[in-house]
Structures are given as C-alpha cells and as structure tokens.
C-alpha cells in the first residue's frame, strides 16, 4: 500500500489459537521446593477443564470410575460386602475410595492425608484432590494448595507416609501413582492419549456455542466508513470488535478502515468452501480418536450411539464388549487401587483387607417368549407372570417335553443302537459351527487346579482356604522346612498334606510368577511371599470339556459325537458365559446335558447327559 496515497487501511486481527499446555517439569534443584506441574504449574487444572468441556471425554472418565468401583467394597477374606466404615468425620471408606478412583482415572495418581493418635497410630484418612498437590524432586515432600492459580503462596507441606515406618504424630501424605512411560520424573502421565482430540472436541463445542450466541459464522469482514484513524485507535477498535464477536479460538477477524465518510458500517461473511462437511469429518475423527485412546471396545458402553451401532443379540454383544473392556482396562486399575489401599491400611488393625467386587452382569438381555421357554423353568416363567409355583415346576419346559419324547423312543429302533452315545437328543457338528468362536485357547492360561465349587468369573477367597495354592497366594512362609509348611497348611485346610504336594504347589506358582520363593540350599529352609501383583484377584474359574469318571474308554471313542469331538479338539477352556451361549444357540441346557443322551453299557441306564462333562478348573490368564 502506498503510504502517500493512504485512502484506506486494512487491519487484520488473528485471534490467538488455543495452544495445548504440555506437562513440562521445569528444572528444580531445591528439594525443599515443589516442582511445577507444567510451565504455569496448572497442568492438572487443564486436564479437569477439558474433561468438563469435552462431553465425550468427560463422560468416558466418569464411566471408567464407575466400572472400576463395580458393585462395591468387600472384605477380601470373607467376600462379604463391607458395612459403612467411617475413615474421617465426613467420609466413609467407600466414599474415600470412590474419590481416589476418580483421581486415578483423571491423573493416574491419588493422595490421602493420614492423621495419627497420640500413640502414633493411623487414626483418620482424608482424600486430597490431586490437583491441589505438588511434589519435590525426590517425591518425599508434598505441597498442598487449594488454589494454585490465585493464591500460589498459600501452601501447606507434608512428609510422605510410609506404612509401618511412622515415627511421629504429624499428618502425612500417602501417595500412589500408576506407572506410564514418560520423560517426566516427578508427576504422572495420564493413561489416555487423546489430549489433543479432547481439546478439539472442546473447541468445536465452543465454536457452536459462540456461533449460536452471536449469530456469526467462522470468519467476518467488518468495514467502517468513518474515515482514517490512527494506529492506536485501530488497535482499540479492533480489540472491541474481537471482544464482542468471539468465536472459537483461532477465528480470523478482518477489519477494514475506509476513508469515505457518511456510509454505514458493513459486516460481510466470508463463506468457507465445504465448511459444514469438513467440520462433520473433524467431529467424527475426533470422536473415534477419543474412544480409541480410552480403549473403548464399544462406544455404547459410554453412551455414544454411532451409525450402525445396536445392542446386538438383545444386549449380549454389549456384555461381551464390557467383558473385553474390563479385561483390557478395568481389572488392572482395580488391582492397582486395591493394592494401594491395602498397603495404606497395613498398619491399621481396625480396617480389613479390602477388594472391589465386579458387577455380576451389567447388560441383561430382553428375551422373547420362545427363548424364555427354552432356558427358563416353568416356575421362573410363572414367577414373571405373578403366579404361584408348581410342585414339579422347576423344570425347563422345552427340555422336559423333549426328554419325554426321547425316553419313550426304543433304543432298538435307533440307527446306532450299539453306540455309547445316542443321537436321539444331541448337539451336532452344525451346532458347533455356531459357537466355534467361543472359548479361549488353553495356552493362554496357567492351570492352578480343579475347582472345588461351581461358578465362574472373578474368584474370591473364602475365609477357609480350599487348596495349598490358595494359601500360598495369600500368605507368606518365613523360614520353614517343607515338612513344617505341610503341617501348617494341613491344619488350615483340615486335611493331610504331603511335602511333595507342597513342593509341587510352590513350583507351580513360582513358575507362573504368582509368588516369590527362595530356598536356602544349606538347610532347605524356604521363604515364600505373594508377588507384588495381587494375583488372587486374577484367579478365575473356567471349564474344561472332559470324559466323565464313570465312563469307560478314552475321551474320544469311535461313536463319540462330532460335536463333543470338536469341542475337545478345539483345545480351549470355556467360561460359564460361553456355555450359556451354547444353550441359547442349541435350545437346551448344555451345562447340564452336554452333548445329549448317553446309554451306559455297563449299567444299561440312559443318562440325560453324554459321556463328557464340564469340569471347573482354576486358572490364571497369562
């Protein structure tokens, strides 16, 4: 522009784009002072802000907290739900743990203030919001401030609490952080890798809000015709326009100062090419990135219903998605928080060893009448209808009718009358094709032993142990010989235990990484301890398809059903949920009847099950 011929001037104002803060740790050599969390020491405030303003990201964080807490707090020994235990004047134990779970989900760490009685014993426990906490270089001193932004000098300092190593009555901070690969040395890194996507989601929301509130498109041209003004006046006027017409951060505002006077101000919209469709693509990509970063196996788990998403199988697919998410994320976080609190409470005899119980089932399918008749007893159907039970009504309606037909059938008429397994009521190879995707390969498990109870899923120890392995997984052995260990565990189990059985159990658990074990070769004294991971929480009961003890011959014989042979040769363990899906697919109770009828040649008895059975086994997934 020719400065001598200055008929008009153009002022361009670019709004500062939103710069995502980084969790930088400025160098701090003084161990008596805190390390800044981010350049402005407000990085956790930023994490809270994006969770508040990105509805999807915030909703997932809240859902994760609820999934981790599950059905509630239980006593690990008895498996019983814990009554409300007050840990301070305001909070119960469950309330304290819920708050800490929220911090763990948001920040990957949590903090608890511990106060003591005059004897130096832990007395009260208080949740300290993690965004109030800063640490020194060595993580031994904690600095707490309720408002680091406005009152950065109002700080209280606390020493670190080491359970069972307390030497004073001054309040201390118990601190736990989950490990994540990071270049930072002091502060934890969030385990969700979607910060930028959450910021984008937040900005899109802000853009929509401002466009609706102000009636402005993304970009405006504001033309003035009041004559040329000075540079200072231009800056003042442009700032006023910017304050009035604020879109999302990064909006471009073009202001023209024109010389001709007497003409009214004009405001024009600069149309963006294909702006709406591009914005929709940005929103979709952002949503996918956030869900992926949170390990979301199904968006519906977090209240997001995308195109094509359904509850498939009346909720069965959603239940499977939850089980995958639980195995990939929830279990590990639950173990971390349970272990941390049991460590915190180890010096407090008032509090039990705790655990968190998973919900039995989150998504119960709505079944149609035909399916209900196949899987529900007469009395269960009558109960749904508000009718009184019948004396002989605890039978499956469909199976009862089928069994009556099969019983009346003459075995001499059967095409395979010499076979051990009768085809009159049985699963087929075609049935197996429907369910062949179920089950998990045996190579993915370490076998602990046969289960002495029925059931499946998360395994909770009873107050009395059922096996040597269970005892070793939950107790230390300190300086004892094999025969002494055998006597000790035998008393606990109320049965005779041999030295060889103890040796086998120790070797099994040691090789599986479930316990630490050392033997002094000079005197054969053994020391064992559960490993640092709470492996008891990982023990599960699955089912192996095996030959019954009262059936002669090999597991597979020439007359074995193709279905049974296929299940055995699949080399898989099956969960109770898997077997329930067998039943839904076949129309009868596969857990009870397995492949179908079996005529025992020795006794001539026709059994309402085949030669095989589901044997519960205790396992740990590797």
**pLDDT surpasses 80 at 579:** yes
- Which of 470, 476, 543, 540 is closest to 505 using CA atoms? 470
pLDDT band of 313, cuts 50, 70, 90: very low
Per-range mean pLDDT, top range of 168-172, 242-246, 358-362, 583-587 = 168-172
**Averaged pLDDT, 591-611:** 84
Q: Region 446-451: what's the mean pLDDT?
A: 63
In sequence order, the 6+-apart residues with CB closer than 8 A to the CB of 604 are none
Is pLDDT at 88 greater than 50 in this prediction? yes
- Does residue 135 register a pLDDT over 90? yes
511 has a pLDDT exceeding 50: yes
Q: Is the pLDDT of residue 463 over 50?
A: no
Tokens of 379: 């009395």
Q: Which residue has the higher pLDDT, 471 or 233?
A: 471
Name the most confidently modeled range: 356-365, 380-389, 428-437: 428-437
The yes-or-no verdict on residue 96 having pLDDT over 70 is: yes
pLDDT confidence of residue 399: 45
Give pTM, 2 decimals: 0.52
Residue 534 clears pLDDT 70, i.e. is over it: no
pLDDT class of 404 with cuts at 50, 70, 90: very low
Average pLDDT over residues 326-349: 90
DSSP annotation string for 313-335: GGGHHHHHHHHHHIIIIIHHHHH
- Kindly provide the b/e burial profile for residues 518-547, where b requires at least 16 CB atoms within 10 angstroms of the residue's own CB: eeeeeeebbebebeeebbbbbbbbbbbbbb
Token pair belonging to 484: 């002494």
Average pLDDT over residues 119-142: 94
The residues, any chain, with a CB within 8 Å of residue 453's CB and separated by 6 or more, are 466, 541, 616
For 294-301, what is the mean pLDDT?
72
Q: Which two tokens stand for residue 476?
A: 């230390």
Of the candidate ranges 136-140, 413-417, 521-525, 605-609, the one whose mean pLDDT is the lowest:
413-417
**Residues 55, 52: Cα–Cα separation, whole Å:** 7
Q: Which of 469, 477, 464, 471 is CA-nearest to residue 447?
A: 469
How many angstroms separate the CA atoms of 389 and 383, rounded? Answer: 7
**Separation in Å, CA 170 to CA 156, 166, 219:** 13, 10, 59
| pLDDT band for position 45 (cuts 50, 70, 90) | very high
Compute CA distances 507 → 448, 519, 572, whole Å: 11, 11, 24
Q: Which residue has the higher pLDDT, 414 or 97?
A: 97
Q: What is the fold of 461-536?
A: Arc Repressor Mutant, subunit A (1.10.10)
CB 292 within 8 A of CB 323: no
Among the listed residues 34, 84, 99, 577, the one whose alpha carbon sits nearest the alpha carbon of residue 316:
577
- The whole-number pLDDT of residue 567 equals 94
Which has more pLDDT, 245 or 169? 169
Decide if pLDDT at 282 tops 50.
Answer: yes
- Listed range (340-354, 391-405, 473-487) with the worst mean pLDDT: 391-405
- Reply yes or no on whether the pLDDT at 181 is more than 50: yes
401 pLDDT exceeds 90? no
Residues 168/120, Cβ–Cβ less than 8 Å: yes
CA 87 to mean position of chain CA atoms: 26
Euclidean distance between CA atoms 542 and 540, whole angstroms: 6
Please say if the pLDDT value at position 413 is more than 50.
Answer: no
Contact call for residues 31 and 136 (beta carbons, < 8 A): yes
Q: 44 near 37, Cβ under 8 Å?
A: yes
Q: State the pLDDT at residue 361.
A: 61
Number of residues assigned to the chain: 622
Q: Specify the domain boundaries for CATH 1.10.10.10 within the chain.
A: 461-536
Q: Is 254 left (phi over 0), alpha (psi -120 to 50) or beta?
A: beta
Strand, helix or coil for residue 25: coil
Report the pLDDT value the prediction gives residue 242, as an integer from 0 to 100: 62
Position with higher pLDDT, 320 vs 118: 118
> Which has more pLDDT, 10 or 438?
438
Q: What does the pLDDT average to over 497-513?
A: 82
What confidence category does residue 198 fall into, taking pLDDT thresholds of 50, 70 and 90? confident
What mean pLDDT is reported for the chain? 77
586: confidence class by pLDDT, cuts 50, 70, 90:
confident
Cα 354 to Cα 441: distance, rounded to the nearest angstrom: 32
* pLDDT at residue 145 greater than cutoff 60: yes
Please compute the mean of the pLDDT values over residues 521-526 and round it to a whole number: 86
pLDDT at 408 over 60: no
Measure the CA–CA gap between 397 and 394, rounded to whole angstroms: 9
Does the pLDDT at position 377 exceed 60?
yes
pLDDT (mean) for 121-144: 95
pLDDT greater at residue 345 or residue 537 = 345
For residues 21 and 30, the answer to whether their CB atoms sit within 8 Å is: no
Q: Which of 267, 248, 243 is nearest to 256 (CA)?
A: 267
pLDDT of residue 161: 94
Most confident among 84-93, 500-509, 521-530 (mean pLDDT): 84-93
User: For the chain, what is the radius of gyration of the CA atoms?
Assistant: 33
pLDDT of residue 475: 83
Distance CA 67, CA 394 (A): 35
């Amino acid at each position: 522009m020719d400065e001598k011929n200055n008929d008009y001037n153009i002022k361009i104002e670019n709004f500062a784009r939103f710069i995502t803060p980084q969790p930088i740790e400025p160098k701090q050599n003084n161990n008596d002072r805190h390390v800044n969390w981010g350049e402005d020491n407000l990085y956790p405030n930023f994490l809270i802000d994006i969770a508040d303003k990105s509805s999807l990201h915030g909703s997932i964080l809240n859902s994760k907290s609820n999934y981790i807490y599950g059905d509630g707090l239980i006593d690990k020994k008895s498996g019983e739900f814990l009554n409300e235990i007050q840990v301070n004047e305001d909070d119960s134990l469950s309330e304290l743990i819920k708050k800490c779970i929220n911090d763990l989900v948001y920040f990957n760490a949590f903090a608890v203030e511990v106060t003591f009685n005059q004897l130096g014993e832990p007395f009260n426990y208080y949740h300290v919001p993690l965004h109030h906490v800063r640490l020194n270089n060595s993580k031994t001193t904690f600095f707490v401030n309720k408002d680091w932004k406005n009152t950065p000098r109002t700080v209280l300092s606390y020493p670190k609490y080491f359970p069972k190593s307390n030497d004073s009555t001054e309040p201390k901070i118990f601190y736990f952080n989950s490990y994540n690969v990071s270049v930072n040395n002091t502060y934890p890194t969030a385990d969700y890798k979607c910060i930028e996507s959450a910021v984008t989601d937040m900005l899109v929301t802000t853009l929509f809000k401002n466009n609706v509130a102000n009636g402005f498109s993304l970009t405006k041209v504001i033309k003035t015709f009041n004559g040329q003004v000075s540079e200072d006046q231009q800056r003042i006027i442009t700032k006023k326009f910017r304050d009035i017409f604020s879109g999302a951060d990064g909006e471009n505002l073009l202001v023209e100062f024109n010389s001709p006077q007497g003409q009214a101000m004009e405001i024009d919209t600069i149309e963006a090419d294909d702006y709406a469709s591009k914005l929709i693509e940005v929103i979709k990509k952002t949503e996918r990135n956030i869900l992926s970063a949170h390990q979301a196996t199904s968006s519906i788990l977090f209240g997001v219903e995308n195109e094509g998403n359904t509850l498939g199988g009346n909720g069965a697919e959603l239940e499977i998605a939850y089980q995958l998410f639980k195995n990939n994320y929830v279990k590990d976080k639950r173990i971390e928080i349970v272990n941390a609190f049991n460590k915190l409470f180890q010096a407090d005899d008032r509090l039990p060893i705790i655990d968190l119980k998973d919900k039995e089932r989150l998504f119960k399918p709505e079944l149609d009448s035909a399916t209900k008749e196949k899987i529900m007893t007469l009395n269960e159907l009558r109960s749904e209808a508000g009718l009184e039970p019948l004396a002989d009504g605890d039978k499956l309606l469909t199976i009862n009718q089928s069994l009556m037909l099969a019983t009346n059938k003459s075995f001499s008429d059967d095409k395979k009358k010499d076979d051990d397994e009768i085809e009159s009521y049985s699963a087929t190879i075609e049935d197996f094709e429907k369910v062949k995707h179920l089950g998990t390969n045996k190579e993915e498990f370490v076998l602990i032993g046969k289960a002495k109870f029925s059931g499946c899923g998360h395994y909770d120890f009873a107050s009395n142990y059922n096996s040597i392995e269970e005892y070793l997984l939950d107790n230390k052995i300190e300086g004892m010989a094999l025969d002494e260990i055998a006597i000790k565990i035998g008393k606990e189990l109320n049965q005779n235990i041999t030295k060889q059985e103890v040796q086998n159990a120790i070797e099994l658990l040691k090789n599986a990484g479930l316990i630490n074990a050392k033997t002094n070769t000079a005197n054969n004294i053994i020391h064992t301890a559960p490993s640092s991971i709470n492996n008891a929480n990982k023990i599960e009961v699955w089912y192996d398809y095996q030959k019954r003890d009262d059936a002669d011959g090999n597991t597979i014989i020439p007359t074995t059903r193709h279905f049974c042979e296929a299940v055995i040769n699949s080399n898989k363990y099956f969960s109770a949920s898997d077997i329930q899906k067998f039943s839904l697919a076949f129309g009868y109770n596969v857990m009870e009847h397995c492949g179908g009828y079996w005529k025992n040649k020795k006794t001539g008895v026709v059994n309402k099950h085949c030669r095989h059975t589901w044997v519960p086994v205790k396992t740990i997934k590797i």
